[in-house]
Structure 1
Amino acid sequence: MRFSDLLSMSANNLRRRKLRTFLTVLGVWIGTASIVVMVSLGIGFNQLTMDQIASYGSLTEISVYSGERMNQDSKDSKYMTDDVIRQFEKIEHVKAVSPLLQVNVLMKQGAYESNTTITGVTQEYMKDIPLKEGQIPEAGDNELKMVVGNMVIRDFYNPKSSNRMFGDTSNLPDIDFMNRPMFVIFDMDAYYQAQNGGTASDGKTPIKPPKKYLLHTSGLVKGTPEEYNNYSYSVYVDIDTLKTQLKQIFKKKPIPNQPTTKKGKPYNYFIYNQSVIQVDDMKNVALVQKAVSDMGFQANSNMEWLEQSQKQAKMVQALLGGIGAVSLFVAAIGIANTMMMSIYERTKEIGILKVLGCDMNVIRNMFLLESGFIGFFGGVAGIAFSYGISFLINKFLASRFMPDMPGDLSQIPIWLSTTAIGFAIFVGMAAGFFPALRAMKLSPLAAIRNE
């Protein structure tokens, strides 16, 4: 018997019992839809978690901080210098390393001022900052230019006003970063001493107010004052230009945030309390992080949070998938029941086929094809129904209860659809396997005599 004839016979047998076939397909339909929708919720939750963590910073970044180590009889700080940065760059899988040089300054524009931290970074680091306006400062530019975070404006206030609402976005100060320069005071100690009437070491000479420097803004970080990202609250400048500026301002005086010797003198090189390492792939972040930790530094990355979240997401996904699998298991019992009933009703037909010399494998395959058809039609219908349910979840439930969610709560990738259909066919044929074996074992004479 040709395979096409076998397909035709199986389809005709299912067509003759339309109601029973429909009800059995309906069970597979519901079971498949249950699994797909449940798994899609797990996939969506996992993706949303990844997107949320990625919004706080790149998943291939490692933040390194100065640690401490034991040096024989003394305990000294493990300083992060340019030599250490070069050692980081030699670690396998490291693409780039950017030290962060931070300086606390006072910014003024018009009647408003703000205590802000200026962070010097490399050109490679600034290339990853998303901008809504302007551009990053050019390498080798002797003028110190700023890239201002989208939430920095919230820290400005009027010192003469009694109503200081920090972080209030309903009444933002009249600050224009791009079109108006910013007055910046770097020597904060001298500024506050001059404000409070401080005197020099002789106790008589009043301390003069420090010089104000005029800085222009080169670019603004993408986002509104309400939209947080990893760069929102920072002001970035080119690190080499910042070093030159600080040396000119403080000369032989200690630079704020820089360690000094036991005699209170500054080092002749810059020391960083933080750096950012760019890794070539997420899979290698943990390896690089361990290498940095072994060097005596503290290393943190968003991959740590992501791995924990993914473990939780997999547990949720397995639980939801298991709940849906119960429905498909019930559907498999329905298929087995349908095929057993079909065998009892077609006993004489099976006997005739055997008497005519029909191969036993053909009889088995005929019933397997029928159960496979039930699984296929139920799987296709279940997938179509799942897409409809997923749309309703994302359209109404997710938008109502999770309005700030960046993506869809229910996500059905192509691989899930094809896998679900294939699994439904497998379940159908597996459920029909034992009834098919029973059909093979029927005695031809007993089957013919059966009424």
Structure 2
Amino acid sequence: MRFFDLLIMSINNLRRRKLRTGLTVLGVVIGTASIVVMVSLGIGLKENTVESYASFGSLTRIQISSGYGNQSEDDYLVDATVTKLAKIPHVKSVSPILETDVNLKQGVYQGYSNIVGMPREELEQIPLAEGKLPNKNAATLEFIVGNMVSDNFYNSKTGKGSWDGEDLSKVDLIHKPFFTMFQNMGNGDETSQKKYLFPACALVDGGENGFSEYGYQIYTDIDLLKTQLKKIYRKNPIPGQPTNKKGKPYNYFVYNMIYVNVDDMEHVTEVQKAITDMGYEAYSSMQWLEQAQQQTDMIQAVLGGIGAVSLFVAAIGIANTMMMSIYERTKEIGVLKVLGCALGDIRTMFLMEAGFIGFMGGVLGLGLSYSVSAAINKFLGASLSGMTGGSGAISRIPLWLSGSAVVFAVLIGMLAGLFPALRAMKLSPLAAIRNE
């Protein structure tokens, strides 16, 4: 018998028993919707967790701190360290970071921050609200100003800052010039500090809530910062840089930290271990993310299991429907066998009926899943995603889940119909024909 003929017979058999078929399909709809919604909640929880950790820094970045106050000269983070770290497998780039504290002044307002010098590839990772990156051929420092730097200002006449309710809206570090004063080598008297006027070329984007890992600092090209510091302090010790036992500065810069950028998230833990084996203190968001992911994987498995129970109950309903269909169509099965219908065709016909029930339930259940998911995101999304620190929808149905849900529903239907189909194959033709 041709496949198309079997398909038509299967559909007609289901249409003859509309109420029973509809109730069975409804069970599959509820089961499919349950498992899809539960899994989508687990996916949303996991992705929100990743987004939360990513907001605090790149997930492929490893940060190596200097801590040179307690280290020997051999352990300092210097250019030779950068070269050594770059040779580790899966390391894409190594970026030295140099920081120096500064005081800032704009009109009657004064503040403080620290300038962070970093290579061009790191500056390119900073999200900008306006402006552009420093000119590659700039002869002087150009600043990317953090969007929260103005919060560190205060009114020099009243001594009040934002913490006292002072209105700092007049502090504009991107459109108005401001003075930069580097730390003194002596007592730190601000009145004797030399004032420098450097242009601000961009403002950091803080996003919807204003938070950014780059928000409270000022960023510039590291090579220009080195040149400026040498020009200011000459042969004198640079504040923040170590000195030898005689109090003399070294003829090289010691970096505050080094960023090691890995080619893929999967290799971060491996590279971090290689760095710690060298004796350096290394930190990455991945080490905390992996622990959080283990918890979210457990939650996702539990949620998926709860949804699977509903689909299992639906499978029992399909098996019951198919068994009842066999009892009602015993004579029909006997006639088919007497006429020479192959046993495999009889089995295929019942499996196709069960699979078609699963398909209809899967498609309708998927549609219901999208509706329930949208309702969850609309009414509960903000509060639930806030618990994980993420900013997106808490229920997420990716394309692969949609396709898998329908395929899974069809397979469950066919598995549920397998036993009834085998029973139909074993019926005796003569006994089936005599059956009333």
Shorter chain as denominator, the TM-score bin is: over 0.9
User: How much does 1:302 deviate?
Assistant: 1.7
Deviates more, 1:28-37 or 1:40-49: 40-49
How far, CA to CA, are the matches of 1:179 and 1:115 in structure 2? Answer: 18
Q: Which residue of structure 1 aligns with residue 193 of structure 2?
A: 210
User: How much does 1:400 deviate?
Assistant: 6.0
Q: Is residue 65–residue 274 contact of structure 1 (8 Å, CA) maintained in 2?
A: yes
**Gap regions ≥5 residues in structure 2:** none
Q: Which residue of structure 2 aligns with residue 203 of structure 1?
A: none
Cα 1:60–1:224 shift into 2, 3 Å: closer
How far, CA to CA, are the matches of 1:210 and 1:27 in structure 2? Answer: 78
Counterpart check, 1:349 vs 2:298? no
| Superposition pairs of residues 72-87 of structure 1, within 5 angstroms | 78-87=75-84
Cα 1:424–1:447 shift into 2, 3 Å: same
| Superposition pairs of residues 5-404 of structure 1, within 5 angstroms | 5-66=5-66, 78-166=75-163, 171-190=167-186, 192-193=188-189, 209-223=192-206, 226-399=209-382, 402=385
Q: Is residue 67–residue 78 contact of structure 1 (8 Å, CA) maintained in 2?
A: no
Deviates more, 1:217-226 or 1:22-31: 217-226
How far, CA to CA, are the matches of 2:261 and 2:212 in structure 1? Answer: 18
* Superposed structure 1 runs of 4+ greater than 6 Å apart: 74-77
User: How much does 1:255 deviate?
Assistant: 0.8
Aligned residues: 434
Give the TM-score taking structure 2 as reference length: 0.94
Deviates more, 1:171-180 or 1:399-408: 399-408
Q: Alignment partner of 1:147: what SS?
A: strand
Query: Which deviations, in whole Å up to 9, do the C-alpha atoms of 1:123-142 show, x marking residues without a partner?
Result: 12111111122222223422
**Gap regions ≥5 residues in structure 1:** 196-208
Percent identity among equivalent residues?
A: 56
How far, CA to CA, are the matches of 2:384 and 2:238 in structure 1? Answer: 50
Q: Is residue 150–residue 225 contact of structure 1 (8 Å, CA) maintained in 2?
A: no
How far, CA to CA, are the matches of 2:217 and 2:122 in structure 1? Answer: 13
How far, CA to CA, are the matches of 1:160 and 1:399 in structure 2? Answer: 43
One-letter amino acid of the counterpart of residue 171, structure 1: D
How far, CA to CA, are the matches of 1:53 and 1:392 in structure 2? Answer: 26
User: How much does 1:225 deviate?
Assistant: 9.5
How far, CA to CA, are the matches of 2:176 and 2:28 in structure 1? Answer: 67
Cα 1:213–1:333 shift into 2, 3 Å: same
How far, CA to CA, are the matches of 1:387 and 1:100 in structure 2? Answer: 47
How far, CA to CA, are the matches of 2:88 and 2:138 in structure 1? Answer: 30
Cα 1:60–1:271 shift into 2, 3 Å: same
Q: CA RMSD for the aligned pairs?
A: 2.3
Give the TM-score taking structure 1 as reference length: 0.91
Query: Which deviations, in whole Å up to 9, do the C-alpha atoms of 1:405-431 show, x marking residues without a partner?
Result: 522111111111111111111111111
Q: Alignment partner of 1:190: what SS?
A: coil
Q: Which residue of structure 2 aligns with residue 433 of structure 1?
A: 418
Query: Which deviations, in whole Å up to 9, do the C-alpha atoms of 1:370-411 show, x marking residues without a partner?
Result: 111111111111011111111111122214665785221111
How far, CA to CA, are the matches of 2:99 and 2:427 in structure 1? Answer: 86
User: How much does 1:67 deviate?
Assistant: 6.0
One-letter amino acid of the counterpart of residue 351, structure 1: G
Deviates more, 1:282-291 or 1:248-257: 282-291
Q: Is residue 98–residue 276 contact of structure 1 (8 Å, CA) maintained in 2?
A: yes
